Amino acid sequence: MNLKLHPIQIEETNPFDCDLLARKDEIENLTALVLNVNSPAVLAIDSRWGTGKTTFIKLWEQHLKLEGLASLYFNAWETDFSEDPLVSFLGEMNEGLKKLIGTSKLSKNAWSKTKAAGKQLAKRGIPALIKIGTAGVIDADKIVEDELSKAMGVLAGDALDDYLKQKDSIAEFHKALSEFIKSSAEEKPIVIFVDELDRCRPTYAIALLERIKHLFNTEGLVFILALDKVQLGHSIGAVYGDGIDSNGYLRRFIDFEYQLKRPEIKDYIDSLFSALLLDEFFAPREKYNELKYDKPHLVNVFYMLANGLQLSLREIEQLLASINLALRTAKENEYIHPALLAFLVVTKNMKPELYKRFISESGTETEMIEYLYTIVPEKNRQDSFECALVEGFLIASKKDRFQSVESEHLSRHKEIIENQEIEYTEKKYSDTVVNVVNRPVGMGHGVDLKTLAERIDLLNRFKFPDNEG
C-alpha cells in the first residue's frame, strides 16, 4: 500500500506523459514566446504556494531539452546557505551547462573567463560586513574599535577604488559571458529557471535578484523565475522596510508576468487516488452492502471541499495523504464513514478550534453545519447530495438514542419534508439528511465520533514535509 505520494518522475523522452494537470498547451505557448522574445528577458511565473510551480517548470525544462534549447534549473532555496548567490549560481551553471561548455575550445575559454571574472566579483562582495553610506567596505574582524576613526578618514578614497574595480570586473564578466553565449548557444537563447526564490532568506533572495539584473543582463539569456509575488514582497519589505513599494521594486527585474491557470481539480484528485492505491483499499469493502459506496462518497465529498475552499494543489496532496493514513487504520469491514472523515480532517486543518469544540463531549453539530454551509453556497446546496450526506453524518455523530430532545437540525429537515409548500429539490436535500441520520450502523445507531476522532488524532504523530512550491 502507498501511504504517501512520491515526487513526480518526468520521462525524458515524453515529459507530458506524467502531466496530471494538462499543462502541455501552456508550456508550448510559453516556449514560443521564449523563442521570439528579445533577450535578455526575465519572465516571472507568479502563483501562490502549493500550486505546482516546481512541477510546471521541470516539465517545461525537459520540453526545452527535447526542442534542442539549452536550459538550466536552479533551486535558489537549496543554495541560500551560500554567502553570495553568485558563487552558488556559477557553480550550478558550471554543472548544468557542461554540454554547452564542452562543445569547443572557444566556448571552454570563454566560460573559463566568465568564471574567473565572477570569482573576482564574489570575492569583493563577501566581506561586506559593515557598510557606511552606499559604498565602501570595512572588515569588522580586522579593524579594532580604536582604529575605526582612522579608517573613516580614508573611507572615501577606498570606496572610489573599490567602485572602479567592481565596475571593471562587471564589464569583464559581461564581455566573457557574451563570448560564451555566442560561441556555444548557436543563436538560440539559454533558458535559466530559478525556483523557490520566495522561500529563501530575504537577504539572499534580494541579492540573487540583483545579481541577475546587474550581471546576467546579457543578450541570449532568458530567466524564468518561479515565485509567489506576495511572499516575495514580504522578503523585500524585510530588507528595505515595510514602506517600500515591493511591486515597483520587482518591476526593475521582471519583464513579463504569467499566472498559472487553475487546473481541473477533479482530474487531479482522481490521479492522486490512483497514486495512493485507494482503489485497492476500497475494493474488498464493496462486497459489504453498507460499505460499497464508501469510495464514491469520499471522492465526491473531497472534491466538493477542495473546490469550495479553493485548496491549492499542495493542500490537496497533504490533506488526501492524511485521509489515506486515517483510512489505513481500519479493518476491511469496519465502519469509517469516509465522507465524514474527509470533512473532519479538512476542518481540523483549516479550523482547528472549531474541530476541537465539535469532538468534545459538550460540542454540538451547529457550528460545523454552519461551516459546511460556507463551503457549499446556498445556490448549490439543494442539488448537492454530498453536502446533505456530510450534514446527516454531523447530526448522527452527535445523536444519542437515549436523549429525550431531538436535534433542532433534524427537526427542521423533518418539517421541510412535511411542508407541502416547499419545492421538491429542497425536500430531497432534507430527505437525504434524515435518511443518513436514521440509518442504522453496525450493532448501534448513528456514528462513533470518538473512534473517528482517535483515528484523526493519530495523524498528529506523522509529519508531511513540504517538497515543492
DSSP letter, residue 393: H
Average pLDDT of every residue of the chain: 79
More confident residue, 323 or 116: 323
Is residue 127's pLDDT more than 80?
no
More confident residue, 340 or 235: 340
What residues contact residue 93 under an 8 Å CB cut-off, 6+ apart? Answer: 72, 192
pTM for the structure as a whole? 0.66
Is residue 18's pLDDT more than 50?
yes
Three-state secondary structure call for residue 467: coil
The CA-based angle 435-439-443, given to 5 degrees, is 175
Name the pLDDT band for 232 (thresholds 50, 70, 90): confident
Q: Does residue 41 contact residue 222 with C-beta atoms inside 8 Å? A: yes
pLDDT digits (tens, 9 = 90+) for 285-315: 888 888 889 999 999 999 999 999 988 888 8
Q: Does residue 321 contact residue 459 with C-beta atoms inside 8 Å? A: no
The CATH superfamily holding the domain 15-129+162-259 is: P-loop containing nucleotide triphosphate hydrolases (3.40.50.300)
C-alpha to C-alpha distance for 235 and 241, rounded to whole angstroms: 9
Name the pLDDT band for 347 (thresholds 50, 70, 90): very high
- The residues spanned by each domain of the chain are 15-129+162-259, 265-461
Supply the pLDDT for residue 353. Answer: 96
b/e map of 434-460 (b: 16 or more CB within 10 Å)?
A: bebbeeeeeeeebbbbeebbebbeebe
When mean pLDDT is compared across 59-63, 139-143, 173-177, 280-284, the lowest value belongs to 139-143
pLDDT digits (tens, 9 = 90+) for 215-229: 777 888 889 999 888
pLDDT digits (tens, 9 = 90+) for 201-214: 888 888 888 878 87
pLDDT digits (tens, 9 = 90+) for 93-125: 777 777 766 666 777 777 777 777 666 666 655
β-pair partners for 71: 191
**Nearest alpha carbon to residue 336 among 385, 391, 289, 295:** 295
More confident residue, 78 or 99: 78
